[in-house]
Amino acid sequence: MASLGGLLLAGGCNAETIDDQRISTPDDRAVVDPTPAPRDFIGQNARHRILVAVVDSGVDYNHPLLSQNMHFSLDAAGTPVALGRDFLGDDAWPTPYVARTSRYDERLSEKERAESMAAWSTASRLAKAFPGMARFYHPSRNVKQELSRGVNHGTHVAGLMVYDRPDIGLLAYRMYPLNRFPPKAAEPSEDRLVTIARSISDAVEAAVGDGARVINMSLGLDGDTPEKQEMLRVLAKRLRKTVLRHPRVLFVVSAGNSKTWLDGSTRTRYPCGIDASNMLCVGALRPNGDLAAFSNIPLSGVDVVFTLGEDVLSTVPTGICSEAPTGVLEKENPSDDELRALAEAAEAQCGRSYFLERMSGTSMAAPIVSHMAAEILIEDPDRIAAEVIREIYRRSTRSFIGAYPVFKLSIKQPSWYALERRPGDENEGAERDALTDDASGSARDRPAARQPGTWEAYLTR
């Protein structure tokens, strides 16, 4: 199989492959695509004044802190029939969960199927002995892949797009981690970069067709060879045409976490490197307003803004307990005591959890900007995307990173921070004040003399 060629979630996770979701059985699919929890679906949709879309690793649409934002497609009776698109499972339910299809995938070796079946048997023992653990370790799910492939990324990003705004409706489109086997439509010799780029374009068209005005893509394609770099440039031109066909839609993308300058020539990243009037690239700041150490800095003339991207608290899937040690699930015939220890640890760590976690990355910064963009469009729905970008600049602080002038956007902290109180957070208030008032950066970031007119050039683009 061809190399993935550098598909990265901007939060720092490689989009490695997972069991092929397209071949999941109806029983397995019922587990990984749960029924939407009851709510006033019709009234909820009516309250949404703007629709935003997240192209990512799937979203937990039953998360209590996100449920009011989910904009389901409804049938005549008001029953949900879709929430965007799952390009991995080829269905309308883009959840983050992974069906364990490796136990019956005939394309795999007998050894691989046997190992998967053994893990299925262990999870079945656990769920039978401790029924409450099926929530986290259902045998139909490949929990090992869920934990190692960063599938909680999409739900974390989604939360930052809609927090504290029940009038923002969310659509979701799952396109990674990638299925182990490429789509049938792909040529056998086709590089996975081409397949990925096609999926991104398909997700964009689907989101626009479903009514999204802001599309967040916290992902990036990096070419690790000159040949792949050239391939990416060709693919970026195609995506640029797709983006420019929809001037009323704002595309918000992450700058990436390689700690480097992106000059658009020797160092590139896509889609952040695409120069389009309705695309905004986002870099990351620390809570005190300084540049985050991991953040890339785009220099190629594309629209860029920086905002909080370090140690950001947001939602994660309610069916994944990432704190408990799960190695026992991969052991051959673990003891009852070992299974009990896992169940007790999971209950202690996740049984009463709000399912909020802190993450860092430009992946976290981008949806914060998407949130601001949605608020601007609610105020004035007639704005085109380029006007929204200029308004974001107007609401930002002018600053410098080295000699490079930048815009730094301050935010209002999500109310769910009140649900988390960590030991040693005595300086939390000071950090919040720095974040929400002056995020201009430290003195060492500033040159001796300013360069007047640079920001105005952005504002009048």
Q: Which domain holds residue 257?
A: 7-100+140-319+355-417
Q: Are the C-beta atoms of residues 339 and 127 closer than 8 Å to each other?
A: no
Does the structure show a pLDDT above 50 at 441?
A: no
Give the model's confidence band at 197: pLDDT under 50 very low, under 70 low, under 90 confident, else very high.
confident
Give the model's confidence band at 248: pLDDT under 50 very low, under 70 low, under 90 confident, else very high.
very high
Q: Are the C-beta atoms of residues 439 and 399 closer than 8 Å to each other?
A: yes
Give the pLDDT confidence of 93-137 residue by residue, as tens digits: 999 999 999 999 999 999 999 999 999 999 999 999 999 999 999
pLDDT: is 240 or 443 the higher one? 240
Give the model's confidence band at 264: pLDDT under 50 very low, under 70 low, under 90 confident, else very high.
low
Of 72, 16, 27, the residue nearest 47 (C-alpha): 72
Number of domains in the chain: 1
Model-wide pTM > 0.75: yes
Q: What is the DSSP letter of 35?
A: P
Question: Lowest mean pLDDT: which of 13-22, 83-92, 348-357, 360-369?
Answer: 13-22
- Does 60 reside within a domain? yes
- Does 274 reside within a domain? yes
Output the pLDDT for position 227. Answer: 75
Strand partners, 99: 141
Output the pLDDT for position 80. Answer: 98
Output the pLDDT for position 450. Answer: 31
Does the structure show a pLDDT above 90 at 345?
A: yes
- Does 424 reside within a domain? no
Helices vs strands, H then E, count in the chain: 13, 20
Active site residues: 56, 153, 363
Average pLDDT over residues 35-55: 98
E strands in 344-424: 356-359, 397-401, 404-408
Hey, what's the torsion of the CAs at 131, 132, 136, 140, to 10 degrees?
A: 20
CA dist 401 and 159 (Å) reads 28
- Does 450 reside within a domain? no
Does the structure show a pLDDT above 60 at 382?
A: yes
CA dist 339 and 129 (Å) reads 9
- Does 456 reside within a domain? no
Output the pLDDT for position 300. Answer: 74
Three-state DSSP class for 209?
Answer: helix
CA dist 452 and 42 (Å) reads 51
CA dist 114 and 123 (Å) reads 14
Output the pLDDT for position 121. Answer: 96
- For Cα atoms 290, 293, 297, give the angle at the middle one, nearest 5 degrees: 85
Output the pLDDT for position 2. Answer: 30
Of 314, 323, 289, 311, the residue nearest 417 (C-alpha): 314
CA dist 65 and 405 (Å) reads 37
The share of the chain scoring above pLDDT 70, in percent, equals 84
Output the pLDDT for position 273. Answer: 84
Does the structure show a pLDDT above 80 at 68?
A: yes
Does the structure show a pLDDT above 60 at 30?
A: yes
Hey, what's the torsion of the CAs at 243, 398, 390, 158, to 10 degrees?
A: 50
Cβ-Cβ contacts under 8 Å for 436 (sequence gap 6 or more): 410, 411, 412, 413
Q: Are the C-beta atoms of residues 308 and 411 closer than 8 Å to each other?
A: yes
CA dist 74 and 51 (Å) reads 15
Output the pLDDT for position 10. Answer: 53
Structural tokens at position 231 = 């391939």
DSSP notation for 136-159? HH-TTB-HHHHHHTTTTHHHHHHH
Q: Are the C-beta atoms of residues 313 and 416 closer than 8 Å to each other?
A: yes
Report the CATH number at residue 67: 3.40.50.200
Average pLDDT over residues 195-214: 92
Does the structure show a pLDDT above 70 at 185?
A: no
DSSP notation for 350-396? HTT---EEEE-SHHHHHHHHHHHHHHHHHH-TT--HHHHHHHHHHTS
Of 277, 217, 281, 226, the residue nearest 247 (C-alpha): 277
Give the model's confidence band at 89: pLDDT under 50 very low, under 70 low, under 90 confident, else very high.
very high
- For Cα atoms 21, 214, 411, give the angle at the middle one, nearest 5 degrees: 110
- Does 447 reside within a domain? no
- Does 396 reside within a domain? yes
Give the pLDDT confidence of 281-295 residue by residue, as tens digits: 999 999 999 999 999
Give the model's confidence band at 186: pLDDT under 50 very low, under 70 low, under 90 confident, else very high.
low
- Does 71 reside within a domain? yes
HSE-up of residue 68 (Cα within 13 Å, Cβ side): 10
